[in-house]
Amino acid sequence: MRIEYINPFVEASFDILNEILQTNVKRGQLYLKKLGESMKGVAVVVGVIGNLKGRIVFDLSEETAMKIASKLNGEKFETFDEMARSTISEIANMITGRSVTKLEKDKLNFSFTPPTLITGENLNIYEYAGMEALIIPIDTGIGIIEINIAFKE
Amino acid sequence: MAIVYDDDGLPTGRKVEGGNVKVLIIDDSQFIIKHLSQIFMSRDFEIIGTADNGKTGVELFKELHDKTDIVTLDITMPEMDGLEALKLIKTIDHNVAVIMVTAIGTAEAVKEAIKLGAKGYIVKPLDREKVIERIGQILK
């Protein structure tokens, strides 16, 4: 995976989360995910198709998802309901959208699928052969979001 | 349609000829529908309907087009995307002001929407002040 394709996601994730949450958002160190490592409980999957192929998964716990949804909607969510799910999916949408704006400078021809939200305990993700996943951990100040990226040209 | 601007040059939801500006919101995100509605209503615009995909949005517009002044339209939606919905909406009423709502500021889809007759676009995230200012520029 070329770092020039990763940087726009790192920047867009940091910028969008900072803009909307206005908490003390911090970027962690990027690292490679081990095969089959379990995820946190709420996963938003966005497919990438075109010259660049792969997917992005926004991985966070339900507790973090509820805190973020509560902050953005100005109301406390007792359950991870439709509005809370819509809020988290929309964040993924905004981050991928902002990344496109940044990546368009590279004249790459690709597009994103609409986000799909998956919840459950003991979720695992497996890449197909030759694909490795890079993780961008973001500490939002109210919980961690790991942005899990696997691309190939 | 001409709207009234306040002393700061910001748009109000009132028409020069009287009455409120009526808005139809078509977006697959409940979160965006809620926040966009709040922003419009804070300026006295009236939300006359919402739809969560292009297909039901076009059907709703067919029913409400005589009353609708503005349609906000998401680009990426299930069933029927925003560009396809835009074409049909413009066939029903060429004069309605359509504002695209997108997470992407410079993509081909936005340029295509402008070619198809969209009056302008709003880029997410929806910051209240920026959205109001942008609506004012688009409707001028």
Q: Pick the range with the lowest mean pLDDT from A45-49, A100-104, B76-80.
A: A100-104
Whole-number pLDDT of residue B2: 92
**CB neighbours of B86 closer than 8 A, spacing ≥ 6?**
B73, B98, B100, B113, B116, B117, B118
The size of the A-B interface in CB pairs under 8 A is 51
Instruction: Give the closest-approach CA distance of B4 to chain A in angstroms.
Output: 30
More confidently predicted of B106 and A95: A95
Query: Percent of chain A beyond pLDDT 90?
Result: 56
Most confident listed range (A36-45, A117-126, B11-20)? B11-20
Query: Percent of chain B beyond pLDDT 90?
Result: 87
| pLDDT band at A130; cut points 50, 70, 90 | low
Mutate to test the interface with B, among A17, A80, A85, A100 (most CBs of B within 10 A): A100
Instruction: Give the closest-approach CA distance of A47 to chain B in angstroms.
Output: 13
pLDDT of B7 over the 90 cut? yes
Question: What ipTM does the predicted assembly reach?
Answer: 0.86
| pLDDT band at B89; cut points 50, 70, 90 | very high
Closest CA in chain B for residue A92: B103
CA distances from A125 to A5, A39, A96, A109, B58 (A): 21, 8, 20, 26, 38
Query: What ranges do the domains of chain B cover?
Result: 3-139
Cβ neighbours of B32 in A, within 8 Å: 86, 90
Q: Pick the range with the lowest mean pLDDT from A4-13, B10-19, B60-69.
A: A4-13
Instruction: Give the closest-approach CA distance of A2 to chain B in angstroms.
Output: 22
- For B119-136, b/e burial (b = at least 16 CB within 10 A) is ebbbbbbbeeeebbebbb
Q: B3-139 belongs to which homologous superfamily? A: Response regulator (3.40.50.2300)
What is the mean pLDDT of the segment spanning B4-22?
A: 95
Contact B30 A83 (CB under 8 A): yes
What is the mean pLDDT of the segment spanning A66-82?
A: 95
Please tell me the total count of domains within chain A: 1
Whole-number pLDDT of residue B105: 67
Phi, psi of B134 (to 5 degrees): -65, -40
What is the mean pLDDT of the segment spanning A13-31?
A: 92
Whole-number pLDDT of residue A105: 63
Question: Least CB-CB distance to A114: which of B30, B76, B107?
Answer: B76
Token pair in block for residue A153? 């040209």
| pLDDT band at A76; cut points 50, 70, 90 | very high
pLDDT of A129 over the 80 cut? no
Closest CA in chain A for residue B81: A114
CATH number for A31: 3.40.1550.10
What is the mean pLDDT of the segment spanning A34-54?
A: 85
pLDDT of A113 over the 90 cut? no
More confidently predicted of A101 and A31: A31
